[in-house]
Chain A
Amino acid sequence: QQQVKQSPQSLIVQKGGIPIINCAYENTAFDYFPWYQQFPGKGPALLIAIRPDVSEKKEGRFTISFNKSAKQFSLHIMDSQPGDSATYFCAASIGLGYSTLTFGKGTMLLVSP
């Protein structure tokens, strides 16, 4: 069964800290790894995504690190702000548009002022 394991379940950091959220997958056929961000009372929204041909991708303060051999990928948030407080989901899928996303169980991040 396709699985994506996400950790930690929750995370508290101080403003300016660098929270790191980790995900591990089992299916080596996965080739698309997005992160979604969800604020309370809202639907998730795509934050950043990576494909396995690169080991790192940065968009603003958000960075995905990808380790193909370990079948792991992680999200780093540089200079975290209280406005980053949200639930973050990692996900994975096979092929562009040919399969559905398998989501991790989510990490609730709180950035204290």
Chain B
Amino acid sequence: NAGVTQTPKFRVLKTGQSMTLLCAQDMNHEYMYWYRQDPGMGLRLIHYSVGEGTTAKGEVPDGYNVSRLKKQNFLLGLESAAPSQTSVYFCASSPGVSQGTDTQYFGPGTRLTVL
């Protein structure tokens, strides 16, 4: 099992450009999450999904959109990138209530720089 994978690993954007970050998991998990990690700020939840076709806002959703068309994939979109979105983005997944555990499994991260 690859676990949670993220594409791309690194990206540099210019202000106003758009991009999509892809997260894939092969553990048949119900829940998926997108976080951003900034120095001294910890992990902040952007959006999450509790199942295929569902999404919900987290703590810092502004400027981001997400989609979960397939259970194994969770996409994070930036429609018009801003320098404030320079960060390391982590995707995570968890089994959900049905499997009796809250453990979240994280991907390796995507380092995004917006100039």
Contact = CB atoms under 8 A, between A and B. Distances in A.
Contacts of B101: 96-97
Which of B58, B106, B107 has most chain A Cβ within 10 Å? B106
A44 interface: yes
Interface of B is mostly: strand
Q: Dominant SS at the A interface?
A: loop
Interface of A: 6, 9, 32, 34, 36, 41-46, 49, 89, 93, 96-98, 100-101, 103-106
A79 B54 CA distance: 45
A41 B58 CA distance: 24
B43 interface: yes
Interface of B: 4, 31, 33, 40-45, 48, 58, 90, 92, 94, 96-97, 100-109
Nearest to B38: A105
A45 B90 CA distance: 12
A100 B90 contact: no
A73 B50 CA distance: 28
Given A43-B90, A43-B107, A97 B31 contact: yes
Given A32-B102, A43-B90, A97-B31, A104 B108 contact: no
A9 B102 contact: no
The 6 lowest CB-CB distance pairs between A and B, nearest first, are: A43-B106, A97-B97, A105-B42, A103-B43, A103-B42, A46-B103
Contacts of A9: 40
